[in-house]
Structure 1
Amino acid sequence: MSNSVERAMRILVELADGPSTISELGRRLDVHRTTSLRLLRTLEEQRFVRRTEDGRFQLGARMATLAAAALTGLDIRGSAARHLRDLGEATGQTVHLGALEGDRIVYLDKVESRHAVRMYSHIGALAPLHATGIGKVILAHLPPAERDALLGPEPFARCTAGTLTDRASLDADLDRILRRGWALDDFEHEEFIHCVAAPVRDAAGRVNAAISVSAPSVVLDRDGLLGLTDDLVAAADAIGEELGWRPPRTR
Protein backbone atom coordinates (compact mmCIF):
# COMPACT_ATOMS: atom_id res chain seq x y z
CA MET A 1 0.00 0.00 0.00
CA SER A 2 1.41 3.41 -0.93
CA ASN A 3 2.15 5.93 1.81
CA SER A 4 -0.42 8.37 0.40
CA VAL A 5 -3.22 5.80 0.38
CA GLU A 6 -2.36 4.64 3.89
CA ARG A 7 -2.28 8.21 5.21
CA ALA A 8 -5.57 9.06 3.51
CA MET A 9 -7.20 6.03 5.14
CA ARG A 10 -5.79 7.01 8.52
CA ILE A 11 -7.23 10.51 8.08
CA LEU A 12 -10.68 9.06 7.46
CA VAL A 13 -10.39 6.85 10.54
CA GLU A 14 -9.38 9.86 12.66
CA LEU A 15 -12.26 11.97 11.32
CA ALA A 16 -14.71 9.23 12.27
CA ASP A 17 -14.17 10.42 15.86
CA GLY A 18 -15.22 13.96 14.96
CA PRO A 19 -14.07 17.10 13.09
CA SER A 20 -10.39 18.04 13.30
CA THR A 21 -8.08 20.79 12.10
CA ILE A 22 -5.18 20.19 9.75
CA SER A 23 -2.74 20.72 12.60
CA GLU A 24 -4.53 18.24 14.87
CA LEU A 25 -4.50 15.59 12.16
CA GLY A 26 -0.84 16.21 11.43
CA ARG A 27 0.11 15.74 15.07
CA ARG A 28 -1.93 12.58 15.53
CA LEU A 29 -0.69 11.00 12.30
CA ASP A 30 2.86 12.35 12.64
CA VAL A 31 2.88 13.91 9.16
CA HIS A 32 3.76 17.41 7.99
CA ARG A 33 0.94 19.96 7.75
CA THR A 34 1.44 20.35 4.00
CA THR A 35 1.07 16.59 3.51
CA SER A 36 -2.16 16.57 5.51
CA LEU A 37 -3.49 19.51 3.52
CA ARG A 38 -2.69 17.87 0.18
CA LEU A 39 -4.46 14.66 1.15
CA LEU A 40 -7.43 16.50 2.62
CA ARG A 41 -7.89 18.53 -0.56
CA THR A 42 -7.95 15.34 -2.64
CA LEU A 43 -10.46 13.74 -0.26
CA GLU A 44 -12.54 16.91 -0.31
CA GLU A 45 -12.66 16.95 -4.11
CA GLN A 46 -14.06 13.42 -4.05
CA ARG A 47 -16.52 14.34 -1.24
CA PHE A 48 -15.01 11.93 1.24
CA VAL A 49 -14.44 14.87 3.60
CA ARG A 50 -15.87 18.36 3.85
CA ARG A 51 -14.73 21.57 5.48
CA THR A 52 -16.87 23.06 8.24
CA GLU A 53 -17.54 26.77 8.72
CA ASP A 54 -14.83 27.03 11.37
CA GLY A 55 -12.22 25.55 9.00
CA ARG A 56 -12.09 22.05 10.43
CA PHE A 57 -12.60 18.89 8.39
CA GLN A 58 -15.20 16.18 8.88
CA LEU A 59 -16.40 13.12 6.99
CA GLY A 60 -18.30 13.93 3.82
CA ALA A 61 -21.42 12.66 2.08
CA ARG A 62 -19.64 10.03 -0.01
CA MET A 63 -18.45 8.28 3.15
CA ALA A 64 -22.07 7.98 4.30
CA THR A 65 -23.01 6.47 0.94
CA LEU A 66 -20.21 3.93 1.13
CA ALA A 67 -21.00 3.08 4.74
CA ALA A 68 -24.67 2.47 3.91
CA ALA A 69 -23.72 0.21 1.01
CA ALA A 70 -21.29 -1.75 3.17
CA LEU A 71 -23.77 -2.18 6.03
CA THR A 72 -26.49 -3.38 3.68
CA GLY A 73 -24.28 -6.31 2.78
CA LEU A 74 -23.43 -7.25 6.36
CA ASP A 75 -24.87 -10.46 7.75
CA ILE A 76 -24.69 -10.72 11.54
CA ARG A 77 -24.66 -14.50 11.48
CA GLY A 78 -21.87 -14.61 8.92
CA SER A 79 -19.91 -11.92 10.74
CA ALA A 80 -20.25 -13.74 14.05
CA ALA A 81 -19.58 -17.32 12.90
CA ARG A 82 -15.81 -17.39 13.32
CA HIS A 83 -15.95 -15.67 16.71
CA LEU A 84 -18.63 -18.05 17.96
CA ARG A 85 -16.54 -21.05 16.92
CA ASP A 86 -13.45 -19.60 18.62
CA LEU A 87 -15.40 -18.89 21.80
CA GLY A 88 -16.85 -22.39 21.79
CA GLU A 89 -13.39 -23.87 21.33
CA ALA A 90 -11.93 -21.72 24.12
CA THR A 91 -14.69 -22.44 26.65
CA GLY A 92 -15.89 -25.91 25.66
CA GLN A 93 -19.45 -24.79 26.40
CA THR A 94 -22.58 -24.05 24.36
CA VAL A 95 -22.43 -20.68 22.60
CA HIS A 96 -25.45 -18.86 21.20
CA LEU A 97 -26.02 -15.82 19.02
CA GLY A 98 -29.45 -14.30 19.58
CA ALA A 99 -31.33 -11.23 18.43
CA LEU A 100 -34.49 -9.33 19.20
CA GLU A 101 -37.56 -10.55 17.32
CA GLY A 102 -40.80 -8.93 18.38
CA ASP A 103 -41.08 -9.22 22.15
CA ARG A 104 -38.78 -12.27 22.38
CA ILE A 105 -35.31 -13.32 21.34
CA VAL A 106 -34.57 -15.73 18.52
CA TYR A 107 -31.48 -17.93 18.41
CA LEU A 108 -29.66 -17.19 15.16
CA ASP A 109 -26.72 -19.54 15.56
CA LYS A 110 -25.29 -22.08 17.97
CA VAL A 111 -22.01 -23.82 18.72
CA GLU A 112 -22.53 -27.07 20.59
CA SER A 113 -20.76 -27.91 23.84
CA ARG A 114 -18.15 -30.62 23.66
CA HIS A 115 -19.54 -32.15 26.88
CA ALA A 116 -21.96 -35.07 26.88
CA VAL A 117 -24.28 -33.19 29.23
CA ARG A 118 -25.46 -30.04 27.44
CA MET A 119 -28.47 -27.77 27.08
CA TYR A 120 -31.17 -28.39 24.54
CA SER A 121 -31.81 -25.54 22.11
CA HIS A 122 -31.97 -25.04 18.37
CA ILE A 123 -31.48 -22.31 15.82
CA GLY A 124 -34.75 -20.49 15.24
CA ALA A 125 -36.09 -21.17 18.73
CA LEU A 126 -37.73 -18.27 20.58
CA ALA A 127 -37.15 -17.42 24.25
CA PRO A 128 -38.39 -14.75 26.67
CA LEU A 129 -36.52 -11.48 27.09
CA HIS A 130 -36.83 -11.23 30.87
CA ALA A 131 -35.59 -14.75 31.68
CA THR A 132 -32.55 -15.22 29.42
CA GLY A 133 -29.06 -13.77 29.45
CA ILE A 134 -29.31 -12.65 25.83
CA GLY A 135 -32.75 -11.15 26.40
CA LYS A 136 -31.73 -9.26 29.52
CA VAL A 137 -28.58 -7.83 28.01
CA ILE A 138 -30.61 -6.52 25.06
CA LEU A 139 -33.29 -5.09 27.38
CA ALA A 140 -30.62 -3.33 29.44
CA HIS A 141 -29.50 -1.33 26.41
CA LEU A 142 -32.95 -0.34 25.13
CA PRO A 143 -34.51 3.10 25.71
CA PRO A 144 -36.99 2.98 28.63
CA ALA A 145 -40.07 3.46 26.44
CA GLU A 146 -39.07 0.60 24.15
CA ARG A 147 -38.29 -1.60 27.13
CA ASP A 148 -41.72 -0.86 28.62
CA ALA A 149 -43.49 -1.74 25.39
CA LEU A 150 -41.67 -5.06 25.06
CA LEU A 151 -42.10 -6.20 28.66
CA GLY A 152 -45.75 -5.31 29.13
CA PRO A 153 -47.46 -5.59 32.51
CA GLU A 154 -46.06 -7.56 35.42
CA PRO A 155 -45.91 -10.19 36.76
CA PHE A 156 -43.82 -11.66 33.98
CA ALA A 157 -44.13 -15.32 33.08
CA ARG A 158 -42.33 -17.62 35.49
CA CYS A 159 -40.04 -20.19 33.83
CA THR A 160 -38.23 -21.42 36.96
CA ALA A 161 -38.02 -20.59 40.65
CA GLY A 162 -35.26 -18.12 39.79
CA THR A 163 -37.17 -16.11 37.16
CA LEU A 164 -37.46 -12.39 37.89
CA THR A 165 -41.18 -11.80 37.57
CA ASP A 166 -41.54 -8.28 38.99
CA ARG A 167 -40.35 -5.06 37.38
CA ALA A 168 -38.35 -3.76 40.36
CA SER A 169 -36.16 -6.87 40.53
CA LEU A 170 -35.69 -6.96 36.78
CA ASP A 171 -34.81 -3.25 36.56
CA ALA A 172 -32.22 -3.67 39.33
CA ASP A 173 -30.67 -6.54 37.40
CA LEU A 174 -30.65 -4.52 34.16
CA ASP A 175 -28.84 -1.70 35.96
CA ARG A 176 -26.17 -4.19 37.09
CA ILE A 177 -25.84 -5.45 33.53
CA LEU A 178 -25.17 -1.94 32.23
CA ARG A 179 -22.54 -1.30 34.90
CA ARG A 180 -20.55 -4.50 34.43
CA GLY A 181 -21.10 -5.06 30.69
CA TRP A 182 -22.60 -8.57 30.74
CA ALA A 183 -25.67 -10.42 31.98
CA LEU A 184 -26.12 -13.51 34.13
CA ASP A 185 -29.00 -15.95 33.66
CA ASP A 186 -28.93 -17.52 37.11
CA PHE A 187 -31.11 -20.59 36.31
CA GLU A 188 -33.90 -18.20 35.34
CA HIS A 189 -34.97 -19.87 32.07
CA GLU A 190 -34.08 -23.53 32.67
CA GLU A 191 -33.72 -25.21 36.05
CA PHE A 192 -30.19 -26.56 35.70
CA ILE A 193 -28.73 -24.26 33.02
CA HIS A 194 -27.00 -20.97 33.74
CA CYS A 195 -25.36 -18.61 31.26
CA VAL A 196 -23.56 -15.33 30.79
CA ALA A 197 -24.31 -13.01 27.86
CA ALA A 198 -22.70 -9.91 26.34
CA PRO A 199 -24.06 -7.27 23.95
CA VAL A 200 -23.23 -7.12 20.25
CA ARG A 201 -23.29 -3.54 18.97
CA ASP A 202 -24.02 -2.54 15.39
CA ALA A 203 -22.35 0.30 13.47
CA ALA A 204 -24.52 2.88 15.24
CA GLY A 205 -23.74 1.39 18.67
CA ARG A 206 -27.23 -0.09 19.09
CA VAL A 207 -27.69 -3.44 20.83
CA ASN A 208 -30.21 -5.65 19.07
CA ALA A 209 -28.22 -8.87 19.42
CA ALA A 210 -26.04 -10.64 21.95
CA ILE A 211 -24.00 -13.79 22.46
CA SER A 212 -23.98 -16.14 25.41
CA VAL A 213 -22.10 -19.04 26.93
CA SER A 214 -24.36 -21.60 28.63
CA ALA A 215 -23.61 -24.63 30.74
CA PRO A 216 -25.39 -27.12 33.01
CA SER A 217 -24.49 -26.63 36.66
CA VAL A 218 -23.17 -30.21 36.84
CA VAL A 219 -20.61 -29.33 34.14
CA LEU A 220 -19.60 -25.83 35.24
CA ASP A 221 -20.21 -24.13 38.58
CA ARG A 222 -20.98 -20.45 39.06
CA ASP A 223 -17.36 -19.37 39.58
CA GLY A 224 -16.29 -21.26 36.48
CA LEU A 225 -19.06 -19.66 34.43
CA LEU A 226 -18.23 -16.15 35.63
CA GLY A 227 -14.61 -16.82 34.77
CA LEU A 228 -15.61 -16.92 31.09
CA THR A 229 -16.89 -13.34 30.95
CA ASP A 230 -13.66 -11.76 29.70
CA ASP A 231 -13.52 -14.10 26.69
CA LEU A 232 -17.26 -13.62 26.14
CA VAL A 233 -17.11 -9.80 26.11
CA ALA A 234 -14.03 -9.83 23.86
CA ALA A 235 -15.85 -12.05 21.35
CA ALA A 236 -18.98 -9.85 21.43
CA ASP A 237 -16.87 -6.73 20.85
CA ALA A 238 -15.06 -8.41 17.96
CA ILE A 239 -18.40 -9.24 16.30
CA GLY A 240 -19.50 -5.65 16.80
CA GLU A 241 -16.36 -4.42 15.06
CA GLU A 242 -17.11 -6.75 12.15
CA LEU A 243 -20.50 -5.01 11.91
CA GLY A 244 -18.92 -1.57 11.83
CA TRP A 245 -18.97 -0.62 15.52
CA ARG A 246 -15.93 1.28 16.73
CA PRO A 247 -15.11 1.05 20.46
CA PRO A 248 -14.59 4.42 22.16
CA ARG A 249 -10.99 5.53 22.15
CA THR A 250 -9.13 7.67 24.65
CA ARG A 251 -6.54 10.13 23.48
Structure 2
Amino acid sequence: MTDTAVEKTLAALEALADHPRITDIAGKVLRPVDTVERARPALRALQRSTRCTVHLAVLFGDELVYVDKIEADKPYRMASRLGTSLPAHGTAIGKAVLASLPESDLDAYLSRTGLPGRTPHTITSSPRLKAQLTRVRRSRFALDDEENEVGVRCVGAAVRDHAGTVIGGLSASSLALEHSLPELIALGPRVLRAADEVSAALGWS
Protein backbone atom coordinates (compact mmCIF):
# COMPACT_ATOMS: atom_id res chain seq x y z
CA MET A 1 0.00 0.00 0.00
CA THR A 2 1.42 3.39 -0.95
CA ASP A 3 1.92 6.25 1.49
CA THR A 4 -0.71 8.21 -0.45
CA ALA A 5 -3.24 5.39 -0.07
CA VAL A 6 -2.57 5.23 3.67
CA GLU A 7 -2.96 9.00 3.97
CA LYS A 8 -6.27 8.91 2.09
CA THR A 9 -7.59 6.15 4.32
CA LEU A 10 -6.53 7.99 7.48
CA ALA A 11 -8.15 11.16 6.19
CA ALA A 12 -11.37 9.29 5.54
CA LEU A 13 -11.36 7.90 9.07
CA GLU A 14 -10.49 11.28 10.57
CA ALA A 15 -13.64 12.63 8.91
CA LEU A 16 -15.56 10.22 11.13
CA ALA A 17 -13.49 10.81 14.25
CA ASP A 18 -16.13 12.89 16.04
CA HIS A 19 -18.70 10.15 15.71
CA PRO A 20 -19.33 8.47 19.08
CA ARG A 21 -19.17 5.00 17.51
CA ILE A 22 -15.87 5.37 15.65
CA THR A 23 -14.37 2.65 17.86
CA ASP A 24 -17.17 0.36 16.74
CA ILE A 25 -16.19 0.66 13.10
CA ALA A 26 -12.56 0.07 13.99
CA GLY A 27 -13.46 -3.13 15.79
CA LYS A 28 -15.56 -4.40 12.93
CA VAL A 29 -12.78 -4.06 10.37
CA LEU A 30 -9.83 -5.19 12.52
CA ARG A 31 -8.02 -1.86 12.32
CA PRO A 32 -9.19 -0.05 9.15
CA VAL A 33 -5.77 0.86 7.74
CA ASP A 34 -4.58 -2.72 8.13
CA THR A 35 -7.76 -3.97 6.44
CA VAL A 36 -7.23 -1.65 3.48
CA GLU A 37 -3.62 -2.75 3.18
CA ARG A 38 -4.56 -6.43 3.17
CA ALA A 39 -7.32 -5.82 0.62
CA ARG A 40 -5.23 -3.75 -1.80
CA PRO A 41 -3.70 -6.61 -3.89
CA ALA A 42 -7.14 -8.05 -4.66
CA LEU A 43 -8.57 -4.59 -5.38
CA ARG A 44 -5.75 -3.78 -7.78
CA ALA A 45 -6.14 -7.10 -9.59
CA LEU A 46 -9.89 -6.54 -9.88
CA GLN A 47 -9.38 -3.04 -11.29
CA ARG A 48 -6.97 -4.37 -13.90
CA SER A 49 -9.18 -7.27 -14.96
CA THR A 50 -12.43 -5.28 -15.17
CA ARG A 51 -11.09 -1.82 -16.09
CA CYS A 52 -13.70 -0.46 -13.66
CA THR A 53 -13.36 1.78 -10.63
CA VAL A 54 -13.10 -0.43 -7.55
CA HIS A 55 -14.38 0.44 -4.06
CA LEU A 56 -13.95 -1.11 -0.63
CA ALA A 57 -16.56 -0.18 2.00
CA VAL A 58 -17.20 -1.19 5.59
CA LEU A 59 -20.49 -1.50 7.41
CA PHE A 60 -21.16 1.22 9.95
CA GLY A 61 -24.57 0.95 11.58
CA ASP A 62 -27.13 0.90 8.77
CA GLU A 63 -24.78 2.49 6.26
CA LEU A 64 -21.57 1.74 4.39
CA VAL A 65 -18.46 3.90 4.46
CA TYR A 66 -15.95 3.96 1.61
CA VAL A 67 -12.44 3.26 2.96
CA ASP A 68 -10.58 2.62 -0.30
CA LYS A 69 -11.00 3.41 -3.98
CA ILE A 70 -8.94 2.60 -7.07
CA GLU A 71 -9.93 4.63 -10.10
CA ALA A 72 -10.29 3.07 -13.53
CA ASP A 73 -7.77 4.13 -16.14
CA LYS A 74 -10.33 6.34 -17.86
CA PRO A 75 -10.52 10.03 -18.76
CA TYR A 76 -13.22 10.53 -16.12
CA ARG A 77 -13.30 10.06 -12.34
CA MET A 78 -16.14 8.68 -10.25
CA ALA A 79 -17.78 11.16 -7.87
CA SER A 80 -17.45 8.79 -4.89
CA ARG A 81 -15.12 9.90 -2.07
CA LEU A 82 -13.39 8.12 0.79
CA GLY A 83 -15.30 8.61 4.03
CA THR A 84 -18.65 8.98 2.26
CA SER A 85 -21.49 7.02 3.89
CA LEU A 86 -24.19 5.35 1.83
CA PRO A 87 -27.50 3.64 2.58
CA ALA A 88 -27.09 -0.12 2.17
CA HIS A 89 -30.22 -0.81 0.12
CA GLY A 90 -29.16 1.40 -2.80
CA THR A 91 -25.69 0.02 -3.45
CA ALA A 92 -24.29 -3.26 -4.76
CA ILE A 93 -22.05 -3.67 -1.72
CA GLY A 94 -24.93 -2.87 0.59
CA LYS A 95 -27.27 -5.38 -1.00
CA ALA A 96 -24.60 -8.06 -0.72
CA VAL A 97 -24.33 -7.21 2.99
CA LEU A 98 -28.11 -7.18 3.51
CA ALA A 99 -28.41 -10.57 1.81
CA SER A 100 -26.22 -12.02 4.58
CA LEU A 101 -28.55 -10.90 7.38
CA PRO A 102 -31.02 -13.17 9.19
CA GLU A 103 -34.62 -12.39 8.27
CA SER A 104 -35.31 -10.72 11.62
CA ASP A 105 -32.31 -8.39 11.26
CA LEU A 106 -33.28 -7.55 7.68
CA ASP A 107 -36.84 -6.69 8.77
CA ALA A 108 -35.44 -4.47 11.53
CA TYR A 109 -33.25 -2.67 8.95
CA LEU A 110 -36.22 -2.11 6.66
CA SER A 111 -38.26 -0.74 9.56
CA ARG A 112 -35.50 1.61 10.75
CA THR A 113 -34.52 3.07 7.40
CA GLY A 114 -37.77 3.17 5.44
CA LEU A 115 -35.75 2.62 2.22
CA PRO A 116 -35.36 6.25 1.07
CA GLY A 117 -34.80 6.79 -2.64
CA ARG A 118 -31.64 8.45 -3.90
CA THR A 119 -32.46 8.20 -7.61
CA PRO A 120 -35.60 7.26 -9.59
CA HIS A 121 -34.13 3.74 -9.82
CA THR A 122 -33.60 3.10 -6.09
CA ILE A 123 -35.60 0.16 -4.76
CA THR A 124 -37.95 1.60 -2.13
CA SER A 125 -40.31 -1.38 -1.82
CA SER A 126 -39.55 -3.98 0.86
CA PRO A 127 -41.06 -6.92 -1.12
CA ARG A 128 -39.09 -5.96 -4.23
CA LEU A 129 -35.85 -5.59 -2.28
CA LYS A 130 -36.37 -8.92 -0.54
CA ALA A 131 -36.99 -10.61 -3.90
CA GLN A 132 -33.72 -9.20 -5.21
CA LEU A 133 -31.84 -10.26 -2.08
CA THR A 134 -33.07 -13.83 -2.62
CA ARG A 135 -31.31 -13.79 -5.99
CA VAL A 136 -28.22 -12.25 -4.39
CA ARG A 137 -28.01 -15.15 -1.93
CA ARG A 138 -27.91 -17.58 -4.85
CA SER A 139 -25.29 -15.74 -6.92
CA ARG A 140 -23.38 -14.20 -3.96
CA PHE A 141 -22.99 -10.90 -5.81
CA ALA A 142 -25.35 -7.92 -6.12
CA LEU A 143 -26.09 -5.19 -8.64
CA ASP A 144 -26.70 -1.46 -8.46
CA ASP A 145 -28.46 -0.34 -11.64
CA GLU A 146 -28.20 3.45 -11.30
CA GLU A 147 -29.82 3.17 -7.85
CA ASN A 148 -27.28 5.21 -5.90
CA GLU A 149 -26.13 7.56 -8.65
CA VAL A 150 -27.80 8.15 -12.02
CA GLY A 151 -25.55 7.00 -14.85
CA VAL A 152 -23.44 4.64 -12.72
CA ARG A 153 -23.75 0.86 -12.44
CA CYS A 154 -21.96 -1.40 -9.95
CA VAL A 155 -21.56 -5.06 -9.10
CA GLY A 156 -20.52 -5.94 -5.55
CA ALA A 157 -19.88 -8.79 -3.14
CA ALA A 158 -19.58 -9.09 0.63
CA VAL A 159 -16.32 -9.36 2.60
CA ARG A 160 -16.00 -11.34 5.84
CA ASP A 161 -13.58 -11.03 8.74
CA HIS A 162 -11.64 -13.84 10.43
CA ALA A 163 -14.77 -14.97 12.29
CA GLY A 164 -16.89 -15.14 9.14
CA THR A 165 -18.85 -11.99 10.02
CA VAL A 166 -19.76 -9.78 7.05
CA ILE A 167 -18.06 -6.43 7.66
CA GLY A 168 -18.62 -4.75 4.30
CA GLY A 169 -17.72 -5.49 0.73
CA LEU A 170 -16.14 -4.40 -2.52
CA SER A 171 -17.50 -3.40 -5.90
CA ALA A 172 -16.60 -2.64 -9.50
CA SER A 173 -18.30 0.46 -10.90
CA SER A 174 -18.60 1.98 -14.35
CA LEU A 175 -20.71 4.42 -16.28
CA ALA A 176 -23.97 2.93 -17.50
CA LEU A 177 -22.97 4.01 -21.01
CA GLU A 178 -19.94 1.72 -20.83
CA HIS A 179 -21.46 -1.43 -19.35
CA SER A 180 -24.92 -2.78 -19.99
CA LEU A 181 -26.58 -4.71 -17.17
CA PRO A 182 -25.77 -8.11 -18.80
CA GLU A 183 -22.13 -7.05 -19.19
CA LEU A 184 -22.01 -6.07 -15.54
CA ILE A 185 -23.54 -9.39 -14.50
CA ALA A 186 -20.79 -11.12 -16.47
CA LEU A 187 -18.25 -9.37 -14.21
CA GLY A 188 -19.95 -10.73 -11.09
CA PRO A 189 -17.78 -13.86 -10.70
CA ARG A 190 -14.60 -11.75 -10.84
CA VAL A 191 -15.92 -9.41 -8.17
CA LEU A 192 -16.96 -12.37 -6.01
CA ARG A 193 -13.54 -13.97 -6.38
CA ALA A 194 -11.86 -10.70 -5.32
CA ALA A 195 -14.16 -10.43 -2.29
CA ASP A 196 -13.29 -13.98 -1.26
CA GLU A 197 -9.59 -13.15 -1.63
CA VAL A 198 -9.98 -10.15 0.66
CA SER A 199 -11.90 -12.26 3.18
CA ALA A 200 -9.10 -14.82 3.10
CA ALA A 201 -6.54 -12.04 3.64
CA LEU A 202 -8.49 -11.05 6.74
CA GLY A 203 -8.30 -14.60 8.07
CA TRP A 204 -11.58 -16.14 6.92
CA SER A 205 -11.44 -19.60 5.37
Coarse TM-score class (shorter-chain normalised): 0.7 to 0.9
What do the CA deviations read for 1:67-123 (whole angstroms, capped 9, x no partner)?
Answer: xxxx96793211101111111111111100011111111001000011123421011
Structure 1 position 205, deviation (Å): 1.7
- CA–CA distance in 2 between the matches of 1:235 and 1:72? 19
**1:127 aligns with one of 71, 79, 86:** 86
Unaligned 5+ segments in structure 2 are 1-28
Give the secondary structure class of the aligned counterpart of 1:100. strand
Report runs of 4+ in structure 1 exceeding 4 Å deviation: 71-74
AA matched with 1:128: P
The answer to whether residue 115 in structure 2 is matched with residue 156 in structure 1 is yes
- CA–CA distance in 1 between the matches of 2:158 and 2:79? 22
Structure 1 position 154, deviation (Å): 6.9
Q: Which residue of 2 aligns with 1:112?
A: 71
Q: Which has more radius of gyration?
A: 1
**2:125 aligns with one of 160, 166, 184:** 166
Give the secondary structure class of the aligned counterpart of 2:172. strand
Structure 1 position 244, deviation (Å): 1.2
Of the structure 1 ranges 130-139 and 213-222, higher mean CA displacement relative to structure 2 is found in: 213-222
AA matched with 2:68: D
Give the secondary structure class of the aligned counterpart of 1:188. coil
Cα 1:154/1:194, change in 2 over 3 Å: same
The alignment yields a C-alpha RMSD, in angstroms, of 1.9
Q: Which residue of 2 aligns with 1:62?
A: none
Unaligned 5+ segments in structure 1 are 1-70, 247-251
**1:242 aligns with one of 196, 201, 204:** 201
Of the structure 1 ranges 142-151 and 196-205, higher mean CA displacement relative to structure 2 is found in: 142-151
**1:136 aligns with one of 70, 95, 99:** 95
Aligned pair count reads: 176
Give the secondary structure class of the aligned counterpart of 1:204. coil
- CA–CA distance in 1 between the matches of 2:110 and 2:61? 11
Considering Cα pairs closer than 8 Å and 6+ residues apart, tell me whether 1 or 2 has the greater RCO. Answer: 2
Q: Which residue of 2 aligns with 1:232?
A: 191
Structure 1 position 160, deviation (Å): 1.4
% same residue? 39
**1:178 aligns with one of 124, 129, 137:** 137
Give yes or no for contact 1:154–1:165 (8 Å, CA) kept in 2: no
AA matched with 1:134: I
The TM-score, its normalising length taken from structure 2, stands at 0.80
Give the secondary structure class of the aligned counterpart of 1:190. coil
Structure 1 position 195, deviation (Å): 0.5
Give the secondary structure class of the aligned counterpart of 1:218. coil
Structure 1 position 234, deviation (Å): 1.0
The answer to whether residue 175 in structure 2 is matched with residue 216 in structure 1 is yes
Structure 1 position 155, deviation (Å): 4.5
Give yes or no for contact 1:98–1:109 (8 Å, CA) kept in 2: yes
Structure 1 position 157, deviation (Å): 0.8
Give yes or no for contact 1:154–1:167 (8 Å, CA) kept in 2: no
Q: Which residue of 2 aligns with 1:60?
A: none
Structure 1 position 147, deviation (Å): 2.4
The TM-score, its normalising length taken from structure 1, stands at 0.66
Structure 1 position 126, deviation (Å): 0.6
